[in-house]
Amino acid sequence: MGNDRDSVRACPNTARQGVTFFAVGSYIVRATMPTRRSARKGLLPKSSPPQKAGPTSQDGEGVPRDAGRDPDEQLLVETAQSDPANFDALYELHFERVYAFVASRVRNRATAEDVTSEVFHKALANLPSYEWRGVPFAAWLLRIAANAIVDHAKRAAREFPSPDDPPEMAVNLDLQASELRAIEYRAQLFQLVGQLPEVQKQVVRERFVEQRSIREIAQRLGKTEGAIKQLQLRAVQNLRARMEGGHG
């Protein structure tokens, strides 16, 4: 790659109306709320993060030091710091990102919820101590999440020691660029589910969250099994279109 270590580049193939991707160093960053102002959030590592939650620069790209500063988000953070009642906006903006990260590292949904809950409670409690200093809020949250995941694994190992079990998650908590991309992809996808037509949304939730069979869903929604399969297909096609085509 060229000498773009301090630059913020728009990825030509992924820039969409209202949804903007940026590549910041080895991090892919995107504004996840199409209806909001284009919030430029960078996932930048601190120079010496406690869990090494930073890139390894193995792809040859450098780590910009202050490219992620976003006045919009900084304002949101400062507003929440002065009155924690305003934490809502930050929660709305980052819930899917944190959940996607945690869910990718733990074994089951109950643990993912448990850890996600812990992350936001800690973030709320420690909000006064958060300082900008080039570390975007999203990166700060993910660092809390990385620590919470490790803590959880340690507690689980202590409470239910079982040497035969595989570890809860990989010990290595480096956030590789590819993993950050995967987190951002899922965070965006999870938010888009909320914008699906009601019945498609219902089918997606019944099928993927509740893990019900097509037959059960058909009974619950009073439709044929064929209709549910069609709705499932349409929902997934819609999501793909919105993820890849930017509309739909």
Instruction: Please report, for residues 3, 99, 108, 193, the alpha-carbon distance to residue 114 in angstroms, rounded to integers and kept in the order given.
Output: 42, 10, 10, 22
Dihedral angle, C-alpha 90, 132, 27, 121, nearest 10 °: -40
**Contacts of another protein in 37-56 (CB under 8 A):** none
Please spell the DSSP secondary structure of 116-137, one letter per residue.
HHHHHHHHHHHGGG---TT--H
Distance of closest approach, residue 183 Cβ to another protein, in angstroms: 10
Identity of the residue numbered 180:
L
For position 193 contacting another protein by CB under 8 A, the verdict is yes
Distance of closest approach, residue 222 Cβ to another protein, in angstroms: 8
Binding residue for another protein, selected from 36, 65, 69, 186, defined by CB under 8 A: 186
How far is the C-alpha of 50 from the C-alpha of 215, rounded, in Å?
48
How far is the C-alpha of 149 from the C-alpha of 119, rounded, in Å?
9
Q: How many residues of this chain interact with another protein, rule: CB under 8 A?
A: 59
Residues that bind another protein (CB under 8 A): 84-85, 87-88, 91-92, 95-96, 99-100, 103-104, 109-114, 116-118, 120-122, 124-126, 128-129, 152, 155, 159, 185-186, 189-190, 193, 198, 202, 204-205, 207-209, 211, 214, 220, 222, 226, 229-230, 232-233, 236-237, 239-240, 243-244
